[in-house]
Amino acid sequence: MNIIISGKQIELTDGIKSSIEEKIGKLDYYLHPSTEAKVTVSAKKARHKIEVTIIPISGPIIRAEDIEENLYAAIDVVYDKLNTQLRKYKKRLQDRHHVNESIRYQTDDLLEDSDYSEDEENIDIVIERHKKFDMKPMSAEEAVLQMDLIGHDFYMFRNVDTDDISIVYRRRNGGYGMIEHE
């Protein structure tokens, strides 16, 4: 796995980098060797935040973050979250009758972990509602206003600048974010 570590408002020491690489590297068991993991470490006052985004070759993007006073504790919590997500995804593949299919390799045996709770084993994804609507071209600012008017946490629109489909969303910290196609 290719682990890319960056720091915001914190100087990353060799100890921090090696700790992150050691923990996140353990997830390599689930993933293809050329999978990319982006790790961002930031600090504000006495709070350390770690965000990890794993971009697999195939399958969903896996993301986890945590904020702790102790950076190493945050690394452990994020590792546990990612490990749980990857096990759930692998279990879901197994439940979909893809026997002996793995995220990492087609021939790997599935994990024999029995740590799953009853809720995790019985997760079925059911899409309850389909919605279609016409998207007129608009700016991101206009899309945020539309989102606020309808009272949603996100809004999909056709970006007037790029003519691509984009999404604006309300962030937990009170700001706004935008998702665009690369």
* Predicted TM-score (pTM) above 0.85: no
14-25 helix and 71-95 helix, angle to the nearest 10 degrees: 20
Q: Residues with Cβ < 8 Å from 95, sequence gap 6 or more?
A: 121
- What pLDDT score does 122 carry? 56
Quote the mean pLDDT of the chain. Answer: 82
Q: What is the pLDDT of residues 78-125, one digit of tens each?
A: 999 999 888 887 777 666 654 554 555 543 444 444 444 445 555 677
As a three-state string, the secondary structure of 80-108 is HHHHHHHHHHHHHHHHCCCCCCCCCCCCC
Are the CB atoms for 41 and 5 separated by under 8 Å? yes
Q: Which domains does the chain have, with CATH numbers?
A: 2-121 (3.30.160.100), 137-180 (3.30.505.50)
Chain mean position to CA 67: 16
Q: How confident is the model at residue 55 (pLDDT cuts 50, 70, 90)?
A: confident
